[in-house]
Structure 1
């Protein structure tokens, strides 16, 4: 998706050789119109998969997942990282390691929101080592639903997540794949 690559070039900030900051349009401030274009692209790529639910982890995955769900006309479910007093106790739980936070946490999805007949598309902002995607995929499997695929807005191609998912036979679509980052420059595959 050339418009995404151009937006990353113009607005992204290379923090280090492994950290790309895109908080001006993706994961702090949201460019709503551009996010709808992201949703349209994911919907186009997965149009033949008969998706019934789009799923992500709070918080940064919500915007691209919501726009994708809106275009597909299906509900969006997000895994919670914390337990609120109002959250159901009948939940699927998986542990996920966060690359950016350097910590492990439990993600939870209420069982009533995933059904055996569902075909689930997982969407996230970044794909680095694949831990978040695999955690969500495990929840999908536990529910008896089918995993239709995984979509990442930005994949760090120099980290192992994309290869890990594809080697497991999981259809993985990334809208922009970063090959490497040098000083202030992002090089795409």
Structure 2
């Protein structure tokens, strides 16, 4: 997606630890016009799939999942990382290690929002080591639902997550894949 590549090059920065900072448009401040284009692209990429729900992880996946959901005309369910008093007692749970936070979260989704009739598309902002995707896939499996695919805004192709998911036969579509960071510069596939 050329628009995304342009935004990464113009507004993104590579930080220590192979962190791509794109918080000016994707996961802190939100560029709604850009997110709309990304949502349309996910609809195009998964147009051949029966999607009944979009699943993501709080918090940075919620914006892109919500915008994409309007093109599929389906609800968004997000896995919660932080237990709250208003979360249902009956939940599907999975452990997810966050590369950027350096800690493991127990993610939870209410059992009433995922069931055997659901055909779920996972959408998230980043894919690195696939820990979030694997945790969300685990929740889908526990709910007896069908995974239709995973849509990622930015895949770090130099980390093993994409390869791991593709080897498992997952229908993975990334809007851009980054092959490397060289001297603070982004190299796209």
Long gaps (5+) in structure 2: none
Could you tell me how far 1:17 is from its partner in structure 2?
A: 5.8
Could you tell me how far 1:185 is from its partner in structure 2?
A: 1.2
Runs of 4+ in 1 over 3 A off after TM superposition: none
Counterparts of 1:28-107 in structure 2, within 5 Å, are 28-107=28-107
Counterparts of 1:163-174 in structure 2, within 5 Å, are 163-174=163-174
> 1:18, 1:159 → 2: CA distance?
10
Q: Retained in 2: the 8 A contact 1:60–1:125?
A: yes
Long gaps (5+) in structure 1: none
Counterparts of 1:145-160 in structure 2, within 5 Å, are 145-160=145-160
> 1:119, 1:19 → 2: CA distance?
32
Aligned CA-pair RMSD: 0.8
- 3-state DSSP of counterpart to 1:70: helix
Q: Deviations over 1:142-175 (max 9, x none)?
A: 1011000111100000000000000001110000
TM-score, with length taken from structure 1:
0.98
The residue number in structure 2 matching 1:10 is 10
The residue number in structure 1 matching 2:27 is 27
TM-score, with length taken from structure 2:
0.98
> 2:105, 2:86 → 1: CA distance?
19
> 1:169, 1:143 → 2: CA distance?
20
> 1:16, 1:123 → 2: CA distance?
26
